[in-house]
Structure 1
Amino acid sequence: MKHSGLLRKGRISLKNHFYSITLVAYKRDNKFTSLTVNRLITKEMKYIEIQGAAKTIAFVIMPNHIHWLIQLGDKQTLSEVVKSFKGRCSKSIRDNTNIKQLWQRNYYDHLIRDEEDLINNARYIIANPLRENIVKSVALYPYWDCIYLNERK
């Protein structure tokens, strides 16, 4: 990433706030297409949650990137959570597949401003496979989840 330092400019880490994060595969290769790899990734998301570092609100694992909406806990900064997640995923996937380099450096983040922004980001994340014309219905895409799935308004 030529201007990766710009991604960190203005980044703040606020405990218990919501963030939308985008993590990109190394060289934008389609590394996230197998059930094995994607199960390992979701396992590490769950581990971050068990640690109390962040709670997953929604995610979608696309073939070459991941959108992850979280509520940051009070134990780690946003950068520490992402670093831990990427490191644990890299090790797990290296140990269980032939993938050697998993991630591009850095990540994109967006601090969620309010409840409307939170809901809009969750919808954006879940609809990603539709916008990319991977499936005709999100119900046909296996690599996503959202805590709002079972909520009724």
Structure 2
Amino acid sequence: MPIYHGGHLRHGRCSEPGRLYSITVVTAGRKALFHDFFLGRILVHELHQVEELRLARTLCWVVMPDHLHWLLELGELELSGLLQRVKSRSAKALNQRLGRSGAVWQAGFHDHCLRGDEDVQAVARYIVANPLRAGLVERLSDYPLWDAIWL
């Protein structure tokens, strides 16, 4: 899984509008901020903003206690710019809510550009099933911080 450092694409990687990407971003120090449902909803709001601005089309997401998994179709903004926007805007809102300052996210992110032969719905099912595999819930319907376009 490629890693992006400092908001720039690694050598040999490209960012293509219209391509599907599976993204993972992790909180600084793997702090479990999103055990708090309301903090998780702040992050979800930023994902919705990206959708409203047509910077990306979200296929599914799940907010885990210390990270985000997001399956998206990239719009015209470069992938690193999109993630920089989501991370910086959510960090500002989260810090404001917590009455603090400082890093919210680890630098960089992991991504996987889906190939044409990959089953998109299978990837989405894998992403949203993360709370089940992590033992956070016994049924996905009991986990509040996920969504998929196929519902």
Name the TM-score, length of structure 2 as normaliser: 0.89
Per the alignment, in what secondary structure is the counterpart of residue 148 of structure 1? coil
The one-letter code sitting in structure 1 at the alignment partner of 2:88 is G
CA distance, structure 1, for counterparts of residue 127 and residue 111 of structure 2: 13
Post-superposition shift, 1:115? Answer: 6.0
Identity of aligned residues (%): 37
4+ aligned runs moved over 6 Å, structure 1: none
Q: Structure 2 matches for 1:92-103, cutoff 5 A?
A: 92-98=93-99, 100=101, 101-103=103-105
Question: Which of 133, 136, 142 is matched with 1:134 structurally?
Answer: 136
Map of 1:70 onto structure 2: 72
Residues 4 and 110, structure 2, Cα contact 8 Å, conserved in 1: no
- The 3 A distance-change label for structure 1 pair 119 and 28 is same
- Give the TM-score of the pair, scaled to structure 1: 0.88
Cα RMSD for the two superposed structures = 1.7
Q: Mind listing any 5+ residue stretches in structure 1 that lack a counterpart? A: none
Match of 1:112 in 2: 114
Alignment size in residue pairs: 145
Q: What is the CA–CA distance in structure 1 between the aligned matches of 2:20 and 2:13, rounded to whole Å?
A: 13
In structure 1, how many angstroms separate the alpha carbons of the residues matched to 2:108 and 2:45?
A: 21
Structure ranking higher in helix proportion: 1
